[in-house]
Amino acid sequence: MAETHSLPKPRLRRPGFWRELLNSAFFIFAALVFSELTFPRSSISGSSMEPTLWGGNHLLISRVSYLVADPQFGEIAVFISPDAKAEMLIKRVIGVPGDTIEIRRTSAVDASGFEVYDGEIVRNGVVLDEPYFINRPCNNCYDRTWTLGENEYFFVGDNRNRSNDSRALGPISRERIVGKAIFRYLPFDQFGTLR
C-alpha cells in the first residue's frame, strides 16, 4: 500500500497587535475625515431662520448635494458671507440664476390705527407664498430689485427682521455656497429631515 503524505497546511500570517491597532485607527480617522468633508455638522446660533430653525438646533449639511446639482428655489443652504467677517450663514434660497427678485414695501394700518410697513418678495413677477415667514410686518424691507446673473443666488432668512442676508449682502456667488441643510439631529424632539 502506498504511503500518503499529507502536505503541511500553510500558516496564515496574522498581523501583529500594533499593526492591527494602527490599521483600525487609520480607518476610523479616514471615515471621520470623509464624513466631515461630505456631511459637515452645523449649529444655529441666531434667530434669522425662525420659525423654521431655532438657536441651538444642530444640523447635517450635505456638500455632496451641490456637487451633483445646483441649489434650488426654497432649499435651506449654508454659504460663506461675502462681507469682511466671512462667516458661515444659513438662509433660504429665494432666487436662482436668471431670476429677477423684487422686494415691494407695502403699508397698511393696523388695529391700533398705526401705519405699518411690510415687504413682499416677488420672483419673476409672482408674489411668493411664504408660509414660513410669520414675523410680519417686515420692518427692514425696502423697495429694491435684483436680476441674478450666471452663478448668482439670492438668500433670505425666514425671520426677515433679524436676518443679515442678500438684501444687504447682495447676490451670493455659487462658489461661496457650502452645502444644503438636510437633517436636524438636535434637539431630539425635532429630529428629522428638513423640508
| Residue 141, domain CATH | 2.10.109.10
195 residues of the chain, pLDDT tens digit each? 556 667 777 666 666 777 776 766 666 655 555 555 555 666 778 888 888 898 889 888 888 889 899 999 999 999 999 987 778 899 999 999 999 999 888 776 667 776 666 778 899 999 988 888 877 777 777 889 999 999 999 999 999 888 999 999 999 999 999 999 988 877 777 777 777
Q: Is residue 97 part of a domain?
A: yes
Q: Is residue 24 part of a domain?
A: no
**Among candidate residues 154, 163, 107, 114, the one with its CA nearest the CA of residue 135:** 163
Give dist(CA 175, CA 131) in Å, integer: 29
pLDDT at 135: 73
pLDDT at 187: 78
Q: Residue 91 catalytic?
A: yes
Q: Residue 112 catalytic?
A: no
Give dist(CA 179, CA 62) in Å, integer: 5
Active-site annotation holder among 24, 43, 47, 48 = 48
Q: Is residue 131 part of a domain?
A: yes
Give dist(CA 169, CA 105) in Å, integer: 19
pLDDT at 50: 87
pTM higher than the cut 0.85 = no
Q: Is residue 84 part of a domain?
A: yes
Q: Is residue 147 part of a domain?
A: yes
Q: Is residue 23 part of a domain?
A: no
Domain that holds residue 153: 41-193
pLDDT at 28: 67
The count of domains in the chain is: 1
Active-site annotation holder among 24, 42, 47, 91 = 91
Q: Please state the three-class secondary structure of the chain as a single string.
A: CCCCCCCCCCCCCCCCHHHHHHHHHHHHHHHHHHHHHHCCEEECCCCCCCCCCCCCCEEEEECCHHHHCCCCCCCEEEEECCCCCCCEEEEEEEECCCCEEEEEEEEEECCCCCEEEEEEEEECCEECCCCCCCCCCCCCCCCEEEECCCCEEEEECCCHHHCCCHHHHCCEEHHHEEEEEEEEEECHHHCEECC
pLDDT at 58: 86
pLDDT at 25: 66
Q: Is residue 154 part of a domain?
A: yes
137 cis-preceded (ω within 30 degrees of 0): yes
Give dist(CA 152, CA 160) in Å, integer: 20
Q: Is residue 15 part of a domain?
A: no
pLDDT at 115: 65
pLDDT at 117: 61
pLDDT at 35: 55
pLDDT at 45: 80
